[in-house]
Amino acid sequence: MSALPAPPVDTIILGAGPAGASAAFHLARHGRHVVLFEREERGRGKACGGGMAASVQRWFPFDLSPAVDQVIREVRFTWALEDPVRAVLPGEAPFWIVRRSVLDAFLADRAGEAGADLRFGTEVVAVERQGDLWNVVDQHGQALASRSLLIANGSSSPLPGRLGLGPSRPRFATTLSLEVECPIANPDLARFDFGLVPQGFCWVFPRQRGYSIGVGTFLGAEDLDADAVLRRLLPSLGLSPEAGQRRPTRLRIWDGHHPLDGPGVLVAGDAASLCDPFLAEGLRPALMSGCQAGLALEAWLGGDVQALKRYTATIRRDWGESMMWGKRIAQVFYRFPRVGYQLGIKRPTAPQRIAQILSGEMGYGDIAQRVIRRLLFQRG
């Protein structure tokens, strides 16, 4: 006799990254029956610099500091390792460095404590709409149905495209990252260099007992020679040019306003193409959209039929409007990066502005029109 299928749950979430785990927490704490599928085992690391505005704390009722590795108080910008500019970050502990193996597990644990059903090591291989329900099948052939679905399974997810959510042809940044264990000189200093990478930048973030280092290019330069960049960057930190294990990754970046909701379904985080196309900031929008998606699904499950549409509008207002300007800045800056560095970053007020963007105090829209005009017409 075959087993009866399990009754439908309230929400199935694909992916226990920051977006999926945040949503799971918010739904579970409202008493919803949530199942969170994650194909990796708990505590697996990820290619990520781990830089995150401390302002994300406002979306959580629990303290995030156990997941924080370092607190950044100062940012240093250079052009090809020279011509430095430094900015002291505004406010108290505004920018954090997290280790992804720790942050992701920490958030999933909070969701689990709130009552979410966590399924690590379980990959969803099929998703289908059947009547009013979503039906998913995992790699073991186990099926589960739900009233609602959250797609939060990251940059390589094919699902948003198939369901008409997000951009139909996503745009990607090309990245390479590594972690190096070594003594660190300034534990509260984050560095960005704009001159070594065509159409992009490299970063050096301090960690406990080492650095998180990476290279990213943003305007479609697929032939990025990241190893050549690292051969110049690493010795400047006193490291061997071959140091660290390198992880190449493609990162889906913001590329216009698009619907993020469908019948009983939302998309959040990288799967929704929310990552900042200028500075690759993806953790803040992943956490924000995950929390907003959790709240929207909770309202929708409770009978508010407009809640999912409102989610798309909220993400557009609270993130997309700023990213629209971020994309324009990226297109101008990375086409003329030397001019951009001189006229954008080296202005007396600019590092402070970027620091305010990184710390979440300001959006690109606040500074964009002035910056673009200056870059295009080289006005002082």
Q: Please, which residue, 32 or 39, has the CB nearer to ligand FAD?
A: 39
Q: Which two tokens stand for residue 100?
A: 């992804």
- Contact track, ligand FAD, 56-95, x by CB under 6 A: ----------------------------------------
For residue 144, state whether it binds ligand FAD (rule: CB under 6 A).
Answer: no
What single letter denotes the amino acid at residue 369? Q
Q: Please, which residue, 148 or 177, has the CB nearer to ligand FAD?
A: 177
Position of tokens 């959209």? 289
By CB under 6 A, name the one of 10, 13, 15, 135 that touches ligand FAD. Answer: 15
Q: Least distance from C-beta 48 to ligand FAD, angstroms? A: 4
- Contact track, ligand FAD, 160-199, x by CB under 6 A: ---------------x-x----------------------
Query: Within 203-222, which residues bind ligand FAD (CB under 6 A)?
Result: 214
For residue 47, state whether it binds ligand FAD (rule: CB under 6 A).
Answer: yes
Please answer whether residues 268 and 228 qualify as being in contact, where contact means their C-beta atoms are separated by less than 8 angstroms: no
Q: State the alpha helices, DSSP H only, in 261-320.
A: 283-301, 307-315
For residue 124, state whether it binds ligand FAD (rule: CB under 6 A).
Answer: yes
Q: Which residue is nearest to ligand FAD (CB)?
A: 282
For residue 244, state whether it binds ligand FAD (rule: CB under 6 A).
Answer: no
Q: Least distance from C-beta 369 to ligand FAD, angstroms? A: 25
Q: How far apart are CA 53 and CA 292, in angstroms?
A: 17
- Contact track, ligand FAD, 263-292, x by CB under 6 A: ------xxx---x----xxxxx-x------
Please answer whether residues 81 and 196 qualify as being in contact, where contact means their C-beta atoms are separated by less than 8 angstroms: yes
Please answer whether residues 146 and 134 qualify as being in contact, where contact means their C-beta atoms are separated by less than 8 angstroms: yes
Question: Coil, strand, or helix at residue 263?
Answer: coil
Q: How far apart are CA 47 and CA 283, in angstroms?
A: 12
Q: Please, which residue, 152 or 343, has the CB nearer to ligand FAD?
A: 152
Q: Least distance from C-beta 136 to ligand FAD, angstroms? A: 9
Handedness of CA 45, 47, 59, 65 (dihedral sign): positive
Q: Please, which residue, 15 or 351, has the CB nearer to ligand FAD?
A: 15
Q: Least distance from C-beta 27 to ligand FAD, angstroms? A: 15
Phi, psi (degrees; rounded to nearest 5) at 305: -70, -20
Q: How far apart are CA 120 and CA 307, in angstroms?
A: 29
Q: Please, which residue, 40 or 109, has the CB nearer to ligand FAD?
A: 40
By CB under 6 A, name the one of 9, 12, 13, 19 that touches ligand FAD. Answer: 19
Q: How many CB atoms lie within 10 A of CB 185?
A: 10
Handedness of CA 168, 166, 200, 354 (dihedral sign): positive
For residue 17, state whether it binds ligand FAD (rule: CB under 6 A).
Answer: yes
What is the full DSSP assignment across 176-236? EEEEEES--S-TTEEEEESSSSTTEEEEEEEETTEEEEEEEE-SS-TT--HHHHHHHHHHH
Q: How far apart are CA 28 and CA 114, in angstroms?
A: 5
Element (H, E) at 351: helix 350-358
By CB under 6 A, name the one of 11, 78, 146, 153 that touches ligand FAD. Answer: 153
By CB under 6 A, name the one of 154, 170, 320, 344 that touches ligand FAD. Answer: 154
Q: Least distance from C-beta 131 to ligand FAD, angstroms? A: 23
By CB under 6 A, name the one of 25, 37, 254, 364 that touches ligand FAD. Answer: 37
Phi, psi (degrees; rounded to nearest 5) at 186: -125, 100
For residue 16, state whether it binds ligand FAD (rule: CB under 6 A).
Answer: yes
By CB under 6 A, name the one of 8, 40, 347, 361 that touches ligand FAD. Answer: 40
Binding interface with ligand FAD (CB under 6 A): 14-20, 37-40, 46-52, 123-124, 152-154, 175, 177, 214, 249, 251, 269-271, 275, 280-284, 286
